[in-house]
Amino acid sequence: MQRSPGKKFLLVIGLLLVAVAVTFVWRHTGQTKDAPTATAKTSPAGVPVTTAVATRGEIDLSLRIIGRAEAYSTVNVRSRVNGQIQKLAFTPGSHVKKGDLLAQVDPRPLQAALDAAKGNVARDQASLAKAEADLQRFESMLGKGFVSRADYDLYKANLGVARANLESDKAAVRAAQVQLDYTTITAPFDGVTGAPLAYPGATLSADTTDIVVLNEVDPIRVAFAVPEDSLAAVRIEARKGTLPVEAHIPGDTEGPLKGELEFIDNAVDATTGTIVLKGRFDNADGRLTPGQFAEVTLPTTRLPDAVSIPVVALQSSTAGAFVFVVKADHTVEQRSVTTGATSGSRVVIDKGLQGGEVVVTEGQMLLTDGARVRVDEA
């Protein structure tokens, strides 16, 4: 069956309308998808950076030096008498108090010497009593003319000799007692013992043989050397009162120890151009050990009105130091600056920056003057 020409015409018109509709939808969808791409091309995101604000105000300048802890007092404990060690009464590496027993020397020889000296005193006391009785007897006989003056003077002299012998032997008793007391060896101060240097059975020579090294560690000192050109500033601050010192222990998470400057050496080392200083720290918790390294922070002066930025913001070139300053339109300006002293992680800017300006601290390697940036949170 053949279709009429009118129906064929309507079919062609319908097909044309469908084609037009499909073309319209396709073009509309394609333009919608391409729109963000075009926008992205015309609006660059910028270089990601981290920033910090330049601050204006008081700033304490300080020196940061590596120091070494040292015992407040160190004693090589020795016996003051000859003899044999009978026992050791301490645990190596332990804390001891002043007066605690450290070692005992065999006391028997010195106890015998003390007993002999006491015997001599008893003999002298008997001799003195006899001499006093003889003198009294001869005094009465002298008055009656039964003895001569020469015999009387002789007995009087014998009395004086007896008294002198008694005093001498009493002194010998005291000396023997002291020697006996020295056989008990005690700690001269609170401290920490080291390893034994002599053991029970060893024969000691008086004031020669070491038994143990005792370190006083509370308080404790940290010694450090500062350049001689910093000495004047340190002395100026020290004249104002106690100069605080901080010690940062590597690997310690409890924060710095706080102490005070206690010692300034009396001469500069001509070889190194430095002078030794020592800080005193309370060390009841034993955080510092003699010989241990610590980073010491020592304030030298205070600037009342200074602009400072983190040291990491500072860049350098053949023309000198510069920073990237972030402007209100999110572009950066490469600006030359004149730097001053450094205090910890911040550097003073003498010229080129104002307080409140924002500088780039991370991402500078991708920046040029006028570049657009995107500020990330630090």
pLDDT band at 378 (very low <50, low <70, confident <90, very high): low
Confidence tier at 46 by pLDDT (50, 70, 90): confident
Residue spans in the chain of domains classed CATH 2.40.420.20: 48-58+305-376
Closest CA to 50 of 365, 350, 370: 365
Strands 244-248 and 95-96: unpaired
| Least confident window among 11-20, 113-122, 231-240 | 11-20
Instruction: For residue 89, give both structure tokens.
Output: 């009464």
Confidence grade of residue 63 (pLDDT, cut at 50, 70, 90): confident
What pLDDT, on the 0 to 100 scale, is given for residue 14? 62
- pLDDT digits 0-9 by tens, 285-301: 889 999 999 999 988 87
pLDDT (average), residues 143-156? 72
What confidence score (pLDDT) does residue 27 get? 57
How buried is 228 (Cβ within 10 angstroms: 0-12 exposed, 13-18 middle, 19+ buried)? middle
- Judged by DSSP in three states, 209 sits in coil
What average pLDDT does the segment 25-52 reach?
59
When comparing pLDDT for 323 and 376, which is higher?
Answer: 323
Say if residue 113's pLDDT is above 90: yes
Strand partners, 191: 96
**212 confidence band (pLDDT: 50, 70, 90):** very high
Question: What is the C-alpha to C-alpha distance for residues 372 and 163, in angstroms, rounded to an integer?
Answer: 107
Q: Are the C-beta atoms of residues 288 and 257 closer than 8 Å to each other?
A: yes
When pLDDT is averaged across residues 199-223 and rounded to a whole number, the result is 95
Q: What is the pLDDT of residue 9?
A: 58
Residue 98 pLDDT > 60: yes
Determine the 3-state secondary structure of 213 from DSSP. Answer: strand
Asked if pLDDT for residue 30 goes beyond 60, the answer is: no
The rounded distance, in Å, linking the Cα atoms of 366 and 360 is 11
Query: How far apart, in Å, do the first and last CA atoms of the chain sit?
Result: 82
Q: Which part of the chain has CATH 2.40.30.170?
A: 64-71+215-303
CA-based nearest residue to 107, from 184, 178, 172, 173 = 184
Q: What pLDDT band is residue 36 in, cutting at 50, 70 and 90?
A: very low
pLDDT at 313 over 90: yes
Q: Is the pLDDT of residue 122 over 60?
A: yes
pLDDT at 284 over 60: yes
Residues near 168 by Cβ (< 8 Å), separated by ≥ 6? none
Token digits of residue 126: 């008997």
Beta-bridge mates of residue 65:
296
Tell me the range of 52-66, 126-140, 305-319 where mean pLDDT is highest: 305-319
CA gap 59, 57 in Å, rounded: 6
Task: Write the CA distances from 248 to 61, 121, 339, 346, integer angstroms.
Answer: 17, 63, 27, 18
Q: Looking at mean pLDDT, say which of 27-41, 49-63, 142-156 comes out highest.
A: 49-63
Identify the architecture of domain 48-58+305-376 in CATH. Answer: Beta Barrel (2.40)
- Return mean pLDDT, the chain: 86
Domain with CATH 1.10.287.470 in the chain: 107-182
Q: Chain-centre distance of CA 227, in angstroms?
A: 19
pLDDT beyond 90 at 136 = no
Token couple for 202: 């060893």
pLDDT of residue 300: 80
Mean pLDDT of 155-165: 86
Contact 360, 50 (CB under 8 A): yes
**Which residues, 6+ apart, have CB-to-CB distance to 53 below 8 Å?**
356, 357, 358, 359
Query: 43-57, 256-270, 327-341: which range is least confident on average?
Result: 43-57
- Place 43 in a pLDDT band, splitting at 50, 70 and 90: very low
- Give the pLDDT confidence score for residue 5 in this predicted structure: 56
Q: 64-71+215-303: which CATH architecture?
A: Beta Barrel (2.40)
**Alpha carbons 72 and 226: distance in angstroms, whole number:** 21
Look at 62-76, 127-141, 233-247, 304-318 and tell me which has the smallest mean pLDDT: 127-141
Q: pLDDT confidence of 8, banded at 50, 70, 90?
A: low
Mean pLDDT lowest among 135-144, 273-282, 346-355, 359-368: 135-144
If you search the block for the tokens 């102490």, which residue do you land on?
A: 259
Distance CA 10, CA 16 (A): 10
The DSSP-derived string for 337-377 is -EEEEEETTEEEEEES--TT-EEEEE-GGG--TT-BEEEEP
Q: Is the preceding peptide bond at 219 cis, omega within 30 degrees of 0?
A: yes
Mean pLDDT, to the nearest integer, of 183-188? 96
pLDDT band for position 20 (cuts 50, 70, 90) = low
**Under CATH, to which class is 107-182 assigned?**
mainly alpha
